[in-house]
Amino acid sequence: MRVLVTMFPWTSHYLAIVPFGWACRLAGHEVRVATMPTMMPAVLESGLTAVPIGPAGGPAEAFERAGIDPRHKPPRPRRAAGEDGGRDDAAQDTLSPWPQDWPAHPERLSDAQRQAVSRIGLFASVIGDSQVEDLAAVIRDWQPDVLVHDSTQFAAPVAAALTGTPTARYLLGTPGMLRVDTAYSAEPVPEYAELFTKRGLVPRIEPDVWIDPCPPSVQYPYPPDADVLAMRFVPYNGTATVPGWLHAAPARPRVCVTWGFTEAELSGTRMLGLLRQTLDALSGLDVEPVLVINPKLRELLGEQPDGVRTVLSTPLGLVLATCAAVVHHGGAGTAMTASALGVPQLAITTPPHYALPGFRVAGTGAGRHLRVDEISDGAAGVTEIREHVSALLTDPGHRAAAIRLREEIAALPSPAAVVESLARRVAPGDHRSEGALSCAS
């Protein structure tokens, strides 16, 4: 079987599928990863074969070609005078509470909230459009048996429709089928639909099969007709030499703080303030704080409280395996790595799609979840964060729930077993003219 993997060109979107790629190779299948040139180092570091597609300058060049500034947020309407003081609604999309179960009940989203999801679809469409022709050319040249892609790589379903290739959509561990292609509505996002129609194609929404590493107690239900391959989440956060201090058991409970590489690029000074509050909170507890951070963010953060061990660009799983708790931004990779290792977690989230892992993990008892607008400024916020971390460390219920979640993940089919199931669904060579994937077991 030939497996072509492609993803939205962010490292966090790639790391989630690396263990599946390894499993394919160990089973004797061929694997290639088609992605933007800016992603080549991450792919090559993982030990898989990379094929460049799209502009050499990566997402930035794709946005520049399209004349779009992804940092610009369109204006939102103001409230009517006398309603909440006439305040601007611009920040309300992400900071005010969204319906906690909005992936299961998208009808509960407001127009502004749906517009926020649609904007993600716009960005994914711009980046996808810059890769479609290159990806289709790779498919025609190499003739893969299946195209495996994440939910925000919009080039994949278009290239698959152009070439008659079956698709498997993998998720990153985020609860809910991340439907930015439809913004959780009945119709596709206009920019997504245009990727198909301008090439003479009918918009294609559903993949042939899903690959989902999210455990059932955290995931939302799928439609009854969805073909889903549940897969055990295996943490992969990059490669590194294990530092010597990780070999010795910590003298005090070790608490990790991390805010993710992607979030570090997007959240700005508000995220830096939260990091400082969190580190100050830990300094008031009898714990060993470990900050896992990238060099750029470390420089921006400035002075830290005494006793904080800073680890630059070390794979998160190595550190979390020794930790009693973790405080993080709610990213799927971080939340799932902590869950797979049985580590209680406090997620402090801003974007609504980051709130989903935090909310669902907290619902199992394995963690706690706060929105950033629930945390006070200054010393009061430090006290609030300290109380939540202290509860993670002292309440045995959190630890017991984290262990149950870890066991639930461990009981799911391994990536190797999922590769076998996918191979049974793909008869090499028979889809070249039909473009259909058999769902027979």
The C-alpha atoms of residue 116 and residue 24 are separated, in whole angstroms, by 36
62-113 pLDDT, tens digit per residue, is: 989 888 877 654 433 333 333 333 333 434 445 567 888 888 888 888 888 8
DSSP per-residue string spanning 39-59:
GHHHHHHHT-EEEE-S-TTHH
- Percentage of the chain beyond pLDDT 70 is 88
Element (H, E) at 65: helix 58-66
Alpha helices (runs of H) in 67-173, residue ranges in sequence order: 92-95, 111-129, 132-142, 155-163
The C-alpha atoms of residue 29 and residue 416 are separated, in whole angstroms, by 11
| pLDDT of 125 | 95
Neighbours of 410 (CB within 10 A): 13
Place of tokens 């079987």: 1
Place of tokens 């278009």: 158
The C-alpha atoms of residue 170 and residue 4 are separated, in whole angstroms, by 13
361-407 pLDDT, tens digit per residue, is: 999 999 999 998 899 999 999 999 999 999 999 999 999 999 999 99
Is residue 270 pLDDT above 80, yes or no? no
| pLDDT of 178 | 79
| pLDDT of 427 | 67
The C-alpha atoms of residue 45 and residue 364 are separated, in whole angstroms, by 35
Is residue 350 pLDDT above 90, yes or no? no
Q: Which residue has the higher pLDDT, 432 or 21?
A: 21
| Pairing of the two strands 288-293 and 209-212 | unpaired
Q: Which residues pair with 49 in a beta bridge?
A: 32
The C-alpha atoms of residue 211 and residue 404 are separated, in whole angstroms, by 22
Q: What is the mean pLDDT of residues 428-438?
A: 43
Q: What is the mean pLDDT of residues 110-137?
A: 92
283-324 pLDDT, tens digit per residue, is: 999 999 999 987 777 877 778 888 899 988 788 999 999 999
Answer yes or no: are the C-beta atoms of 54 and 130 closer than 8 Å: yes
Q: Which residue has the higher pLDDT, 21 or 83?
A: 21
Instruction: Categorize the per-residue pLDDT at 441 as very low, low, confident or very high, splitting at 50, 70 and 90.
Output: very low
Is residue 6 pLDDT above 60, yes or no? yes
221-244 pLDDT, tens digit per residue, is: 888 889 999 999 999 999 888 888
The C-alpha atoms of residue 59 and residue 66 are separated, in whole angstroms, by 11
Q: Which residues pair with 286 in a beta bridge?
A: none
Helix, strand, coil percent content, the chain, rounded in steps of 5: 45, 15, 40
Which residue in 117, 103, 124 sits closest to 7, CA to CA? 124
Q: Which of 140-154, 175-189, 211-225, 367-381 has the lowest mean pLDDT?
A: 175-189
The C-alpha atoms of residue 319 and residue 315 are separated, in whole angstroms, by 7
Q: State pTM to two decimals.
A: 0.89
Q: Provide the angle, in degrees to the nearest 10, between the axes of the packed helices 378-394 and 269-283.
A: 60
**Burial degree of 171 (CB within 10 A; 0-12, 13-18, 19+):** buried
Is residue 186 pLDDT above 90, yes or no? no
Domain architecture of the chain: domains with CATH: 2-74+90-233+414-425 (3.40.50.2000), 244-408 (3.40.50.2000)
Neighbours of 215 (CB within 10 A): 27
Amino acid at 101: D
Please, what is the average pLDDT of the chain? 87
Task: Please give the structure tokens belonging to residue 422.
Answer: 């996918």
The C-alpha atoms of residue 420 and residue 27 are separated, in whole angstroms, by 8
Place of tokens 């797979």: 340
Is residue 438 pLDDT above 50, yes or no? no
The per-residue b/e assignment along 71-81, b for 16 or more CB within 10 angstroms, e otherwise, is: eeeeebeeeee
Q: Which residue has the higher pLDDT, 343 or 356?
A: 343
Place of tokens 């010393």: 379
C-alpha dist (Å) from residue 331 to 17, 208, 327, 336, 348: 15, 26, 11, 8, 10
Instruction: Categorize the per-residue pLDDT at 171 as very low, low, confident or very high, splitting at 50, 70 and 90.
Output: very high
Instruction: Categorize the per-residue pLDDT at 261 as very low, low, confident or very high, splitting at 50, 70 and 90.
Output: low
Q: Which residues pair with 258 in a beta bridge?
A: 292
Q: Which residues pair with 216 in a beta bridge?
A: none
**What's the distance, Cα to Cα, between the start and end of the chain in Å?**
16
Q: What is the 3-state secondary structure (H, E, C) of 255-311?
A: EEEECCHHHHHHCCHHHHHHHHHHHHHHHCCCCEEEEEECHHHHHHHCCCCCCCEEE
Q: Kindly tell me the sign of the dihedral angle through the C-alpha atoms of 343, 344, 348, 353.
A: positive
Q: Strand, coil or helix: what is 32?
A: strand
| pLDDT of 393 | 98
